[in-house]
Structure 1
Amino acid sequence: MTPDLAGRGVVVTGAGRGIGEAYAKAFAAAGARVVVNDLDADAVTAVATSLGDDVFAVPGDASSEEGVAALVASARDHLGEIDVYCANAGVARGGTEAVAERAWDVSWNVNVMAHVRAAKLLVPEWVERGSGTFVATVSAAGLLSIPGAAPYAVTKHAAYAFAEWLSMTYGDKGVRVHAVCPQGVRTDMLRNSGTSGRALMEADAVDPDDVARDLFLAMEQERFLVLPHPEVAQMYAHRASDPDRWLTGMRRLAGGLPGSVLGAD
């Protein structure tokens, strides 16, 4: 099923490739007017060009306070109103608590504060008019954690928590929130995740278009949690019901991996 998106104004960050590009394609096919954003200006411009006259490229930073403000202002110029904002841009930094401070800083800004900063600019208008949709591309790691990648695991937990908070705070005021939590997705992030990352996620990986399809189904059903890998729900329940057993299993999993997961720079 496809939600009624004809003529709606949509922003998708991290849309130069992967899940973001798939979101943009799906929204455009549904008749929405779409602003696509990415740090890679060439990639996001190519996506916009391929999707037609109602898709506009706005390259730039979607994480800093100034960058988010510029993106939202430009999107409003193109679209008038922003009806759906997909906070999809993300970074994957691996390593332990000892990883360089820059890895933590970048992870917090891109994976968490980009969402906070966008919501700060969008939510007041949405509450005033009684409608608006915030899509947070999180990760199954935000529900389950992931070995060998402390900055990624911690910030994805935070991104999920912020999406949950938005929903509980503004859900009765017309703001819909969706948290998208896939495991492996066939993107550059997975391909660049190293031997351990691929060992964890590659076998059951889905395509970006599958993630977009599941998001649209959740939007149609007004459902908060989007799980392209349905088995994550059972894992999440097990984690909550017996944390010690869960942690024992995660230690066993981590001990069997050949090295750290994701990049540590």
Structure 2
Amino acid sequence: MDLGLAGKRVVVTGAGRGIGLAIVRGFVAEGAAVVAGSRRATKELAELDGVTVVEVDLADAAGPADLIAAAGERIDVLVNNVGIAPPRTHGFLDVTDNMWADTWNLNVMAAVRATRAALPVMLAGGGGAIVNTGSVNSRLADPLVIDYSASKAALASFTKSLSKEFGPRGIRVNSVAPGPVATDLWLGDGGVAATVGAAQGIAPSDVEAGAKAAMVTGRFTRPEEVATLVLLLASARIPNVTGADFAIDGGMLTAL
């Protein structure tokens, strides 16, 4: 299927690894020109043709606008992917104001700021598409990631509100909601499995097995699968889809 993304100019936040890197690779394979925002220019990004890497701290209030400015006078697609998911293994009462603020800042405000900077460029160009990386935890509240869950619920609401305001002006806004994905965020050193395992006195592999058991497919989603969904939503193949949140979670969510 030709997604019609060749020649499109795309901005991706949190592009250095995991889902973000897979998204960048997907757009490059489709012939798009990608401006990749990352705290550092990773080897994986540097190896890709057609990618402009912008080293930027998206937790800084000026960072998202700086990234958008680096994209120039045309943006066809914005993917708000950057985020953090710190496990709170000691419970809600140990989650400080600063922890809440850090999670909210990167998971919500980075998307708000990047979108606020990109929309005038998109509108001047006649339209575009925005895809936000959410989470099943926007609907599947989990005390282990209480601040993360709340932030992703806010991002889903932000997505819906934007779609209503800017849909009539040619800009579609959607989100994807992954469950556990096979990236370092979950499975790497210091990732969710290792952190939770250390807190509970069990092996990270046991935490991983428990997460797999919560999905009817019995496996983690691959980052490339999330990227494929993002690319489809960014394309013009389904132009009447906006304001939607698409779960890609191996059947973890059971409610309609």
What is the CA–CA distance in structure 2 between the aligned matches of 1:61 and 1:35, rounded to whole Å? 15
Q: Separation in 1 of the partners of 2:55 and 2:80?
A: 14
- CA deviation map 1:188-227 (0-9, x unaligned): 1112112386355344311100111122233432433332
Higher helix proportion: 1
Looking at structure 1, the residues matched to 159 and 2 of structure 2 have their Cα atoms a distance apart, in angstroms, of 22
Q: Is the contact between residue 91 and residue 107 of structure 1 (CA under 8 Å) also seen in structure 2? A: yes
Task: State how 1:31-110 maps to structure 2 within 5 Å.
Answer: 31-39=31-39, 41-43=40-42, 46-52=43-49, 54-76=50-72, 80-95=73-88, 96-98=91-93, 99-110=95-106
Q: Is residue 212 of structure 1 aligned with residue 227 of structure 2?
A: yes
Q: CA deviation at 1:150?
A: 1.1
- The percent of aligned pairs where both chains have the same amino acid is 33
The answer to whether structure 1 residue 201 and structure 2 residue 207 are counterparts is no
Within the candidate set 169, 172, 180, 1:173 is matched to 169
1:228-253 residue CA offsets vs partner (Å, 9 max, x unmatched): 23635x6342xxxxxxxxxxxxxxxx
Who is 1:141 aligned against? 137
CA 1:173–1:42: 2 relative to 1, 3 Å: closer
CA offset digits 1:39-77 (Å, max 9, x no partner): 1x142xx2332111x21110111233211121111121x
C-alpha displacement at 1:112, in angstroms? 0.3
The alignment status of 1:221 with 2:238, answered yes or no, reads yes
CA 1:93–1:209: 2 relative to 1, 3 Å: same
Residue 11 (structure 2) aligns with: 11
Equivalent residues of 1:2, 1:217 under 8 A apart: no
Distance 1:147 1:34, change over 3 A: same
TM-score (norm 1): 0.79
Please list every run of 5 or more consecutive structure 2 residues that lacks an aligned counterpart in the other structure.
201-206, 213-217
The separation in 2 between residues aligned to 1:200 and 1:131, in whole angstroms, is 43
Mapped contact 1:112–1:156 kept (Cα < 8 A)? yes
CA contact (8 A) 2:74 2:122 kept: no
- Alpha-carbon spacing, 1:7–1:230, altered in 2? closer, same or farther (3 Å): same
Q: Contact 2:74 / 2:125 at 8 angstroms: preserved in 1?
A: no
What is the CA–CA distance in structure 1 between the aligned matches of 2:17 and 2:180, rounded to whole Å? Answer: 15
For 2:77 and 2:111, locate their aligned partners in 1 and report how far apart those are by CA, in whole Å.
13
State whether residues 214 and 227 of structure 1, in contact with CA within 8 Å, keep that contact through their aligned partners in structure 2: no
Give me the TM-score of the superposition, normalised by structure 2: 0.82
Q: Distance in 2 between matches of 1:182 and 1:134?
A: 17
